[in-house]
Chain A
């Protein structure tokens, strides 16, 4: 394309993006179309990818297409395999896309669509994409080493230890929080519970088909499994209308929590994993399909956003979770803008597949762009709901009351009109008994998705099917996170405890598997149970705690990245990683301070504990708050130590007291370029 045309194209994209951002930021008192959010996001991502990631690639990282990657040098056909960049992109995206970018924006919509959307877009372009990109490249240059190993090598033993603790903490709290989301979505819902229960026998059938009838034909098996799941959704409707079956599948939150705890233990400790493994494939299949479908639905329908850009709850009095827009919007959005967990994927499987260094830009930066777009779609799904409906679904009974009329009156008094009759009709339309107090984000997202889907395909008559399809989609891949998280946590515990007592480090020794699985399940089960028993819905305390852990891990990743940048002698461009690091430190440390010490009992764990003491509540509830406060404090202190340790290393290197020495594998020229040239 001639240069003048390229310039014109990018000027047009920039102007369009600026117009869209101005529209979403400056419109007040009028509803806007969701496409403004989509255009603002896509234009910003395009500019970020074309110019900023190019700048990072050329100026900061000095990507070298002639340098052999570990996939080429260590190729073994198993872990290290040079793979087409688009295939790695798809693989990486499938690995990083989880419930976080769906749930976080839905919860943050309580502030209105504006703060969350701006942070998703800006945070991704300047923070999340940068983190994923640089960590991926640094791992590629270190034979695919993990974040923990890089932290240990570049910052020191403390860095390695803290990232290890942060990973264990994040997995524990993540699994507890997402399990709570499933509980809140399925409680008193025979339709949803039946559908999810059916995924177990379906997985076993898939396993038999995959192993006995068509070995290795995973895609075909996943299509077959998907059709069975669709049949289960239709079967769920019949179950919900059958008095005896409905009673059998109408479960309370504690019963569901207990079942999930048993499931997590069984999936980690008992030899059932191979039977359930096909569910992993099914979950990925449904996830990718549904995300694509949602994107098509939004573009086809171009829905109007009913949520205002800003709500009164920016002042911290929100019913979904308590806390002011800063820092809590940023903690809540989590994975949609920047996620420490991505640094684990970027330094896990992905670097071992990268064929050329230059491809890390598409996979690392581009993969996070796609994840961020998913978060924008989740924000749209939440914002197409009438605000009254959104708050009725997401507000806990402890805030708005249990009785529908009282809850509707409270929410209407906040300025978001809704009636009990309206909620009852909506519940009927989606095949539920009630939609009040369904905290956790998943049901609100499912209603938004059902709203979009039903208006594009099938009309209002099939809204219940779409709603339960969305619930199934969320619960299915959340449950795979529960079992995968438990197994990974168990494995990490075995490795760590193996330093104390060797036999427990033997990962296939059955007593060790049983003990460490029980420890892992007890840890996340504790948080899940605490959430189920919390009158404020649990999400109020668990999701911010998860967000803090996740963002603290991102801070550790950016400390590692900045240290390597300093040692590479690229200090001139240090702001690329330092600015997001400063921001994350400011956000996470403020949020942790607020969650621990804020005098408002809805925000501060310790203030809540004091309130419970004065009201004569049980010791157990008081202990829960104290433990949450301790977890947040310990993590902040540990990450504070890593930040200080890193800063001291930068000073030592920059002042010349220490020789700058990066721990990269030696340079080897690639064969691939020569082979490609023939």
Chain B
């Protein structure tokens, strides 16, 4: 049982890491900040906001 709990936690954590890396959590935060729901319009707004931040973010060598 303990092993299953550890595995479950590890998988959940991996999911959280991937969701942060792939900006899914950032989108949820955006929706919460703007009190809006998921949809094409809100995602387009999110992408516009992200674009400004990403253009200044160097990608490592």
Contact = CB atoms under 8 A, between A and B. Distances in A.
Contact of B29 (A81, A94, A171): A81
Interface residues of B, number: 36
Nearest to B31: A216
A76 B20 CA distance: 16
A91 B59 contact: no
A485 B59 contact: yes
B53 A339 contact: no
A288 B20 CA distance: 14
B54 to A, nearest CB: 8
Nearest to B41: A215
Nearest to A280: B54
B23 A95 contact: no
A587 to B, nearest CB: 17
Interface string B24-44: 101111101100001110111
Contacts of A83: 20
A314 interface: no
A79 interface: yes
Interface in B1-56: 13, 16-24, 26-30, 32-33, 38-40, 42-44, 46-47, 49, 51, 53-56
Contacts of A572: none
A98 B58 CA distance: 11
Interface residues of A, number: 61
A87 B33 contact: no
A96 interface: yes
Nearest to A89: B17
Contacts of A481: 59, 61
A281 B22 contact: yes
B24 A345 contact: no
Given A94-B21, A215-B38, A215-B40, A335 B61 contact: yes
A90 interface: yes
A91 B13 CA distance: 13
Contact of A77 (B18, B32, B47): B32
Contact of A274 (B17, B29, B47): B47
The secondary structure that dominates the A interface is helix
A276 to B, nearest CB: 11
Given A174-B61, A211-B43, A215-B42, A79 B53 contact: yes
A488 B20 contact: no
Contacts, number: 125
Given A91-B17, A341-B58, A216 B32 contact: no
A487 interface: yes
A590 B18 CA distance: 42
Contacts of B47: 211, 274, 277
Nearest to B24: A218
B17 A87 contact: yes
Nearest to B47: A274
Interface in A460-496: 480-481, 484-485, 487-488, 491
Nearest to B44: A211
Contacts of B26: 78
Contacts of A89: 17
B6 to A, nearest CB: 14
Contacts of B28: 216
A676 B22 CA distance: 28
A344 interface: yes
A219 B25 CA distance: 11
Contacts of B61: 98-100, 170, 174, 178, 334-335, 339, 341, 481, 546, 550
Interface of A: 76-79, 81, 83-84, 86-91, 94-100, 167, 170-171, 174, 178, 210-212, 215-219, 222, 273-274, 277, 280-281, 284-285, 288, 334-335, 339, 341-342, 344-345, 348-349, 480-481, 484-485, 487-488, 491, 507, 546, 550
Given A77-B30, A218-B23, 12 more contacts: A77-B29, A90-B18, A211-B40, A216-B24, A216-B38, A285-B22, A335-B60, A335-B61, A342-B60, A485-B58, A488-B57, A488-B58
List 4 tightest A-B contacts by C-beta distance, closest first.
A90-B17, A215-B43, A218-B22, A484-B59
Interface of B: 13, 16-24, 26-30, 32-33, 38-40, 42-44, 46-47, 49, 51, 53-61
9 contacts: A90-B20, A97-B60, A211-B47, A212-B40, A216-B43, A280-B54, A281-B22, A341-B61, A485-B59
